[in-house]
Structure 1
């Protein structure tokens, strides 16, 4: 992508900041994720953490994906051309102060990690909670060994590091300091390349880092602190940016039972035992591959949605890495199924996240252009409900073609489906009908009408 003119990018950023600062954007309909985002174990954790709490399930899911991508480590990789992608992700949760419940979105993930650590500590990654300031400080957390005077500091063998940065504004502020190389170091971490000393006086190295981030920030802080340089140099677009605010008000939110936490931890440990090298501290690798069906679906997306421009210099700069992010998400989803093979269903779940990230970025940075209004969503939801009540069930294509005659954009249809699923009691349930391995096409998602129970 060519660099946008400075005035265009800065003006778009200033306009978005003004809208959030004066409250003009406070009542717009918020992005709604596709239920497909909550795939498998990720969905179980998200639903457990959001049940009778104020925490948004999509925010819990994003943090859990970041944690899991870190704990999985560098053994699995996917070759794309001459580039090897590991399941390594940076997650950025955006929400207004007091409403985002950004700290709560990490709480259940932390409890799951504690349960893993108590039973099989070798499976749990190192965790660093905030306070990143320099490249050297980051490298020191996973260093290869160094000397202090006459003393040798032994190397840290396990290079897995999950950074929980609840105040991402701190990272952006550090980036604004002249000569600070933290953002460059984090770019290297996302790429998986060695962290080398930035100066001759500092000799701290970290080879083969596997660093993943869970970060949080408010929209005003993001727009006020991010620099044009970080928008264009690939720093910000390495983050999967997701909008998430509280879904309800609960004076006494429910605490997940410890037995349930330990059950989820057991599922995590099964995944990590599957993905860890057989020999301790070995450099064993495992090549992940894609089914022909998954390859075809990814190629379709790559030539369409994954390289779509939105006519906004600001939005386009942040969404530049949708394709590699989709592949890394698909890797995580396949590994949660304890398999090295990426199937079409993993691509679809990953694409649901990319779509939601796209809606989120547009909502935060461009005033939500293209985001359906609440009136549109409710109108479409009523029409879908009536259509399903008469038909019993339908695919997404059936809804687009037969229910709306192709006259409604995908964003409206998806938001309306999600609205029907999220509304209590739900009037629509989702079924994924796997196709035979020999048959053509990808797994079909079917939406089925749920008749409300008659009152006693």
Structure 2
């Protein structure tokens, strides 16, 4: 499958002609994230989903470690790695970060202390990463003071560099980034290295072409949990604009002010002076997350590579939901935030399937499995539906008919005892083909 996918992407333009790219659910563009995405894409070539993903990574970094969510004995902070995949010259990867850079500059001008440290590429080792947020060290008789602010947003416009470094024998950069995603202290890799960093809050925005990703990603990198810590999103230009619109500075300043309000809320101290605040899910969010966790979030896609890349869907959903709740200035996550986060998880699954699928003529398995789940939920709520109802009402015409048909076939194969197909004659014996109706039942006849 990996070799087939590489061959497909190596043939310029073939994938787009034979197979449509995934389409994100509008629910991805929730609240402030949507405002930034639409402002950056208005009158420009940049895909709003790419802008939104990079903004989420920036905002998750700026928020820091004050909010956390307890899942068992693990504490999750709103910390995300984002990987934007698109073909060279069409992904508009640099443009997807440019508005966020302007917003960051405006944040610094208004309230400098709220902006995180930014490192623009060039990561090569664990030691180099730790040196950016170190706890202090000694050189001879001189003491190098510690970096107190551990927030670091890394922008890797050439993410292939990170993957190249991870392939070098003895290189520990990928292990260090795994520790950063987990929030684990960066300890020296050798006894002679005295540079370390405690409580890191590192977030990363990367960009790569599908050919580079398929060429450089090794099975070891997939299975050791490095690449699957990234929210992998497909995004290419949405139009051709010779003179793309520039967002007015007044609008950039207004968005920066909104960001500051979110950061001021997220970094308030508790009554007892502690700098850590526990976030929780309300009853509706708990129920919805449990439903998703028991089904869609833990579904296998039948392929080791794809399953490995999507292994961390559940914690990613929770971290995204935390960010959406904080943009609403709420410590309690509600169902809206879970649904918006799940829209991102579904689009990430579609993107991974699209990039890594070897068969260019058929929908990806992640697309089919997700669509089948969506149809099941729709039929459970509605009772029955025709194919047109599924295309129009269930998916809002955002999914091609090939995906809908493949999902129906998947349901028939996987759950024949629950998925029923009925053929009903036209009312009053009218002309035309009989109507085909789909419904979920324990048994059916007719």
Task: Return the alpha-carbon distance in structure 2 between the equivalents of residues 415 and 236 of structure 1.
Answer: 32
Task: From 330, 353, 363, give the equivalent of 1:370.
Answer: 363
Structure 2 residues not aligned, in runs of 5+: 366-376, 401-446
Task: From 127, 147, 153, give the equivalent of 1:162.
Answer: 153
Deviations for 1:343-402, whole angstroms, at most 9, x for unmatched residues?
A: 000000000000000000000011475359xxxxxxxxxxxxxxxxxxxxxxx9489958
For the pair 1:356 / 2:370, whether they are aligned, the reply is no
Q: Counterparts in 2 of 1:63-74, with a 5 A limit?
A: 63-74=54-65
Task: Return the alpha-carbon distance in structure 2 between the equivalents of residues 246 and 30 of structure 1.
Answer: 12
For the pair 1:84 / 2:75, whether they are aligned, the reply is yes
Would the aligned equivalents of 1:32 and 1:415 in 2 still touch at CA under 8 Å? no
Task: From 106, 120, 145, give the equivalent of 1:115.
Answer: 106
Task: Return the alpha-carbon distance in structure 2 between the equivalents of residues 341 and 289 of structure 1.
Answer: 5
Task: From 26, 29, 38, give the equivalent of 2:16.
Answer: 26
Structure 1 residues not aligned, in runs of 5+: 1-11, 373-395, 420-456
- Which SS does the other structure have where 1:25 is aligned? helix
Pair 371,13 (structure 1): closer, same or farther in 2 beyond 3 Å: closer
Report the Cα offset of residue 405 of structure 1. 2.4
Instruction: Indicate the residue corresponding to 1:334 in structure 2.
Output: 325
Pair 242,350 (structure 1): closer, same or farther in 2 beyond 3 Å: same
Deviations for 1:118-145, whole angstroms, at most 9, x for unmatched residues?
A: 1111000000000000000000000000
Task: Return the alpha-carbon distance in structure 1 between the equivalents of residues 391 and 295 of structure 2.
Answer: 14
Pair 91,178 (structure 1): closer, same or farther in 2 beyond 3 Å: same
- Which SS does the other structure have where 2:198 is aligned? coil
Report the Cα offset of residue 414 of structure 1. 3.1
Task: From 273, 276, 282, give the equivalent of 2:264.
Answer: 273
Pair 160,225 (structure 1): closer, same or farther in 2 beyond 3 Å: same
Pair 111,224 (structure 1): closer, same or farther in 2 beyond 3 Å: same
Instruction: Indicate the residue corresponding to 1:405 in structure 2.
Output: 386
Task: Return the alpha-carbon distance in structure 2 between the equivalents of residues 209 and 254 of structure 1.
Answer: 37
Q: Counterparts in 2 of 1:120-159, with a 5 A limit?
A: 120-159=111-150
Instruction: Indicate the residue corresponding to 2:5 in structure 1.
Output: 16
Instruction: Indicate the residue corresponding to 2:397 in structure 1.
Output: 416
For the pair 1:179 / 2:160, whether they are aligned, the reply is no
- Which SS does the other structure have where 1:416 is aligned? coil
Instruction: Indicate the residue corresponding to 1:284 in structure 2.
Output: 275
TM-score by length of 2: 0.82
The CA RMSD measured in Å over matched residues stands at 2.3
Would the aligned equivalents of 1:127 and 1:164 in 2 still touch at CA under 8 Å? yes
Task: From 185, 191, 197, give the equivalent of 2:188.
Answer: 197
Report the Cα offset of residue 318 of structure 1. 0.2
Report the Cα offset of residue 277 of structure 1. 4.2
Would the aligned equivalents of 2:40 and 2:51 in 1 still touch at CA under 8 Å? yes
Would the aligned equivalents of 2:50 and 2:235 in 1 still touch at CA under 8 Å? yes
- Which SS does the other structure have where 1:196 is aligned? coil
Task: From 257, 263, 276, give the equivalent of 2:254.
Answer: 263
- Which SS does the other structure have where 2:203 is aligned? strand
Task: Return the alpha-carbon distance in structure 2 between the equivalents of residues 156 and 47 of structure 1.
Answer: 35
Q: Counterparts in 2 of 1:277-316, with a 5 A limit?
A: 277-278=268-269, 284-316=275-307
Report the Cα offset of residue 26 of structure 1. 3.4
Q: Counterparts in 2 of 1:196-235, with a 5 A limit?
A: 196-235=187-226
Task: Return the alpha-carbon distance in structure 1 between the equivalents of residues 298 and 393 of structure 2.
Answer: 21
Would the aligned equivalents of 2:85 and 2:233 in 1 still touch at CA under 8 Å? yes
Instruction: Indicate the residue corresponding to 2:419 in structure 1.
Output: none
Deviations for 1:164-183, whole angstroms, at most 9, x for unmatched residues?
A: 00000000000010000000
Task: Return the alpha-carbon distance in structure 2 between the equivalents of residues 168 and 404 of structure 1.
Answer: 45
Would the aligned equivalents of 2:117 and 2:151 in 1 still touch at CA under 8 Å? yes
Would the aligned equivalents of 1:89 and 1:190 in 2 still touch at CA under 8 Å? yes
Would the aligned equivalents of 2:23 and 2:398 in 1 still touch at CA under 8 Å? no
For the pair 1:104 / 2:104, whether they are aligned, the reply is no
Aligned residue pairs total 384
Report the Cα offset of residue 411 of structure 1. 11
TM-score by length of 1: 0.80
Larger Rg: 2
Would the aligned equivalents of 2:391 and 2:397 in 1 still touch at CA under 8 Å? no
Report the Cα offset of residue 41 of structure 1. 0.4
Q: Which moved more, 1:141-150 or 1:407-416?
A: 407-416
For the pair 1:52 / 2:43, whether they are aligned, the reply is yes
Deviations for 1:70-118, whole angstroms, at most 9, x for unmatched residues?
A: 0000000000000000000000000000000000000001100000011
Pair 308,283 (structure 1): closer, same or farther in 2 beyond 3 Å: same
